[in-house]
Amino acid sequence: MSEELTRMTATEAVSRLRKGEISPLDLIDAAEARIAAVEPAVNALPTLCLDRAREHARALMNGRRREAEGEPGWLAGLPVSIKDLTDVAGVRTTYGSPIFRDHVPVKSHPLVERIERKGGIVIAKSNTPEFGAGGSTFNEVFGRTRNPWNTSLTCGGSTGGGAVSVATGEVWLAHGSDHGGSLRRPGTYCSVVGLRPSPGRVTRGTSNNLFSPLSVQGPMARNIPDLALFLDTMAGVCNLDPLTLEAPTLPFARTVAEARPPRRLAFSANYNGQMGVDRETREICEKAARRFEALGCEVEEFAPDLGPLEDVFMVLRSQHFVVDRELQLQTHRDLLKSDIIWNTEKGLGQTPSQLAWAERERAAFYRRYAAMFDRFDIFITPSAATPAFDVNLRHPETVDGKKLTNYMAASMLNAAITLTGCPAVAVPAGFDQWGRPVGLQISGGPRSEAAILGAAALLEGVMGLDRLLPIDPRTGTVPPG
C-alpha cells in the first residue's frame, strides 16, 4: 500500500483524498517510509516535521482547517516539502547557513500559510545551498544533496532538495524559489518539472527585495498537471507583497487539461552561438523541440540578440545581494561562503552609472525578447547548458569546452529569461549517453504561465518521460570531461 501511494501523481492522490478513499495520515505514513528508505542515499529532506504534519492531518480529517476547500489548488491533505529558505512555524529553518543553524521561527512565511490553508501538509524542509546561492546543493549545516539518477552527481541548485524529494517519491509536490534558474536547473538535472512564475504570480512575502522582479517563489512536481495544481495552490494576491496578482479566473490545472498546440514556436539551442551549451545537450534538445511538429506546430530556429546580458545579470544580481547580505557580511563574514562574499562585494563596488547601464540594457533586451512574440507563441531553449556534474564541485568546470570563471556562468540560459520578468518551465527532454537527464526550458511573453504550461503538457504527453518517476536512487560514477 505504501509503495502504491508514493507512486501516485499528486493529482491522483488529491482526487482520492477528496473522495475519502485514502486519508492524509495514509500519505504521511507512506512518505515517512519512503523518506527512511531513500534519504541515506540522497540527503534531500534533512529536517522532518512529521508530528506537526499528523496534527494538521487530524484537524483536516475532523473537519477543521478546511475553509479553502473547493477553491482552485485545494490539496485536501497532500504532503509537500518546503525549501529551507522559507519559514515554517515551529520547524527548524536554517537557510542553509551556520549563522541560523539552530533557528526555529515562530511564524510561517505567507506562502507556507497559503499552502497550508489550501490543504497542503508540510512534512519536511528541503536542502538548499547557503541562502540559495549556488548551482549545486550543499551547505555546512546539512552537507550535500545527491542526484537520484546517479548519486555521484549534483542535483543542481538551489531547489536541489525539492527536486530530489519529488523525483524519488518522498513527497508529491515541492516548493522552491528561483533567481538564476533555481527551480529550472534542478528540475532538469533530476528529470522533474519546475516553474519559474512571473514576478507577482506567487507571494514572496517577507523578502527585503520586494520591489525586485529577479527572485520568485514557485512549484516543482513530477509532471505538468501536478505542477499546475500546485501553482493554483500558490497563486493570488498577498497584501505583504505589493507586486502580487489576482489568481486567474480559469485555474491553471484546467488550462493544462484543455491545452491546444501552439501555432508557431521559436527554438534556439544556444542563441545563435551567443551562449555556450554542450554539443550533446543541443542535439537532444533540438530533437525534443521538433516533437512539437508531430502536434501540428511550426518550429523555427530563432533567438533574440543577447547583447552584454551576462554582465547585465551579474550587475543586477550583485545589487540584489547587497540588499540581502550586506548586514550579514558586516557581522558574520567568517560564516559566509565565498560565493556570497564575492557576489555581495561585487555589488558594493558598483557605481550608480553601472547600475543605470544595466537597467538600460535589460530594458533593451526585453524589447528584443518581447518583439519575438509578434511572430511566435512560445520560445524554447535547453534548460541547462550542461548535464549534472560532479557532486563535489560548486559548478561545472567547463561548458562546451570553455572554462567557467564564476559559479553563475553556467546559468545564463535561465538568467536570460529571469531578466525579462516572464515565466519559464523546465520539462524533461531525454538523457545523454551517460544516462544524465536533459531538459527544455519553455518560456513565453508576460504572464504567460497558462500558455507555457499547456505547451509543456502536450510535449510531456508525447515524450512520456514523467512515467519513469519516482525512481530509487542509483549509484554511478562521474562521466569523463
426 with 185: CB under 8 angstroms?
Answer: yes
The residues near 146 (Cβ < 8 Å, ≥ 6 apart) are 41, 42, 43, 152, 153, 154, 155, 164, 391, 473
* Alpha-carbon gap, residue 358 to 159, rounded angstroms: 27
Nearest of 403, 419, 290 to residue 366 by alpha carbon: 419
pLDDT at 345: 98
Residue 123: give its domain's CATH number.
Answer: 3.90.1300.10
In a domain, 474, yes or no: no
In a domain, 23, yes or no: yes
Query: Could you report how far apart the first and last alpha carbons of the chain are, in Å?
Result: 43
Cis amide bond preceding 158, omega within 30 = yes
Nearest of 172, 128, 134, 138 to residue 15 by alpha carbon: 172
* Domains of the chain: total: 1
In a domain, 310, yes or no: yes
Residue stretches of the chain with pLDDT short of 50: none
126 with 161: CB under 8 angstroms?
Answer: yes
Helix axes 309-332, 338-348, angle to 10 degrees: 110
pLDDT at 405: 83
What is the grid cell recorded at 135? 548551482
In a domain, 211, yes or no: yes
In a domain, 294, yes or no: yes
In a domain, 477, yes or no: no
* Alpha-carbon gap, residue 215 to 246, rounded angstroms: 19
Cis amide bond preceding 148, omega within 30 = no
What is the grid cell recorded at 446? 508576460
Range of the domain at 185: 2-468
DSSP state string for 133-180 = --SS-EETTTEE-EETTEEEEE--SSSHHHHHHHHTTS-SEEEEEESS
Q: How far is CA 404 from CA 287, 382, 401, in A?
A: 27, 18, 9
78 with 13: CB under 8 angstroms?
Answer: yes
Q: Is the pTM of this model over 0.95?
A: yes
Torsion angle of alpha carbons 197, 201, 202, 205, nearest 10°?
Answer: 120
Coil, helix or strand at residue 344: helix
Q: How far is CA 44 from CA 144, 158, 225, 309, 310, in A?
A: 8, 12, 23, 33, 31
In a domain, 212, yes or no: yes
In a domain, 6, yes or no: yes
Q: How many Cα neighbours within 13 Å face the side chain of 450?
A: 13
The residues near 439 (Cβ < 8 Å, ≥ 6 apart) are 184, 187, 188, 191, 285, 382, 383, 384, 426, 427, 428, 429
